[in-house]
């Protein structure tokens, strides 16, 4: 067993195992730190910055920063929460997210975070980028309008031999997550469902089934995102 250390989050002393990230330590102690690109079982990258925290007056990503003995973390403060809210707003304006007709509505982490951080009208102008829908795969639709490039599908969706179904294409503002056309032909229903479930937004949709979860029974219909961690 790893050595137990102690750190403070918003003034509360919590124990953590040495080697745990701050997100892991917080969540195992009933404290919520929001994440989007971070996914259990996959190596964290800190690319979405949703888990921004402040340590010793520096902004860090809690999913990539190891917890350390004596560390003092600012998490649920007005300043940090506003930074997180601005990140959510940026994600909304940089894509085309129309929740009313999106079948991921109610199960979407981005939408749930927007509710949790009380996003009303984004402070940034909408960019309405020209994005497409790739529906050529037999099992899934990849809607680029909603993709937030979190890389969760790239990191977690692979076949038995470890071959990836998804990959990044291009760079900068042209960056897109695309499907390997040949691999897509071999995709099973189970893999398609997993890809849809692991996508935090409505960018990966399993074909021919939509809205099959009634309103009221969806993941975030009753409890806000993060409540599964909070004491």
Partner 1 sequence: MPKKITIEPVTRVEGHGKVTIMLDDFGNVRDSRLHIVEFRGFERFVQGRPYWEAPVLVQRLCGICPVSHHLAAAKALDVIVGAGTGHGLTAVGEKMRRLMHYGQFFQSHVLHFFHLSSPDFLFGIDGDPALRNIIGVAMNNRDLAVQGVMMRKYGQEIIRLTAGKKIHGTGAIPGGINKNLSIAERDELLSGPDPLNADKMVEWSEAALDFFKDYHKNNQSMVDNFAAYPSNHLSIVREDGAFDIYNGVLRAVDNEGNIILHDVDCQDYNKYIEEEVKSWSYMKFPYLKELGPEKGWYRVGPLARLNVCDFMPTPLAQKEFEEFKAYTSGKPNGMSLHYHWARLIEVLHCAEMIRDLLKDPDLQNDDLVVKGEKRYKGVGVIEAPRGTLFHHYEINNDDQITLANLIVSTTNNNQPMNSAVNLTAKSFMNGQAEITEPMMNAVEVAIRAYDPCLSCATHALGKMPLEMTLVNANNEIIDKKNK
Question: Residue 125, interface with partner 1 (CB under 8 A)?
Answer: no
Question: Residue 87, interface with partner 1 (CB under 8 A)?
Answer: no
Tokens of 42: 């996959």
Please identify, among the stretches 117-125, 175-183, 188-196, 211-219, the one whose residues bind partner 1 according to the rule CB under 8 A: 211-219
Question: Residue 11, interface with partner 1 (CB under 8 A)?
Answer: no
The residue among 10 and 176 lying less far from partner 1, judged by its C-beta, is: 176
Question: Residue 184, interface with partner 1 (CB under 8 A)?
Answer: no
Binder to partner 1 among 49, 164, 207, 219 (CB under 8 A)? 207
The residue among 26 and 195 lying less far from partner 1, judged by its C-beta, is: 195
Query: Is 44 in contact with 34 (CB distance < 8 Å)?
Result: no
CA-closest candidate to residue 14, choices 28, 1, 2, 3: 28
CB neighbours of 209 closer than 8 A, spacing ≥ 6? Answer: none
Tokens of 172: 């900068």
Please identify, among the stretches 2-10, 69-77, 147-155, 213-221, the one whose residues bind partner 1 according to the rule CB under 8 A: 213-221
CA-closest candidate to residue 91, choices 140, 23, 37: 37
Q: Measured from the CB of residue 102, what is the shortest distance to partner 1 in angstroms?
A: 8
Whole-angstrom distance between the N-terminal and C-terminal Cα of the chain?
Answer: 25
Binder to partner 1 among 15, 129, 186, 209 (CB under 8 A)? 209
Tokens of 98: 């129309």
Subset of residues 99 to 118 that bind partner 1, contact rule: CB under 8 A: 100-101, 103
Question: Residue 213, interface with partner 1 (CB under 8 A)?
Answer: yes
CA-closest candidate to residue 225, choices 106, 53, 48, 81: 106
Subset of residues 187 to 206 that bind partner 1, contact rule: CB under 8 A: 205
Bridge partner residues of 15 (DSSP): 6
Pair type for strands 166-169 and 58-61: unpaired
Binding site for partner 1 (CB under 8 A): 100-101, 103, 133, 135-136, 141, 205, 207-216
């Amino acid at each position: 067993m790893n050595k137990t250390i102690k750190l403070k989050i918003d003034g509360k002393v919590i124990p953590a195992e040495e080697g745990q990230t701050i997100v892991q330590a917080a969540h195992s102690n009933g404290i919520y730190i929001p994440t989007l690109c971070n996914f259990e079982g996959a190596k964290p990258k800190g690319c979405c910055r949703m888990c921004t925290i402040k340590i010793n007056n520096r902004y860090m990503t809690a999913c990539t920063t190891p917890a350390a003995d004596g560390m003092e973390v600012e998490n649920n403060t007005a300043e940090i929460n506003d930074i997180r809210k601005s990140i959510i707003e940026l994600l909304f304006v940089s894509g085309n997210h129309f929740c009313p007709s999106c079948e991921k509505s109610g199960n979407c982490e981005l939408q749930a975070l927007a509710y949790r951080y009380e996003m009303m009208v984004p402070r940034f102008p909408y960019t309405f980028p020209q994005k497409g829908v790739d529906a050529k795969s037999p099992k899934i639709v990849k809607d680029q309008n909603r993709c937030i490039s979190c890389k969760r599908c790239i990191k977690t969706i692979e076949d038995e031999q470890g071959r990836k179904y998804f990959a990044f294409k291009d760079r900068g503002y042209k960056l897109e997550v695309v499907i390997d056309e040949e691999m897509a032909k071999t995709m099973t229903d189970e893999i398609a469902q997993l890809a849809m479930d692991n996508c935090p937004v409505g960018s990966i949709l399993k074909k021919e089934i939509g809205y099959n979860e009634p309103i009221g029974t969806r993941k975030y219909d009753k409890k806000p995102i993060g409540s599964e961690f909070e004491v």
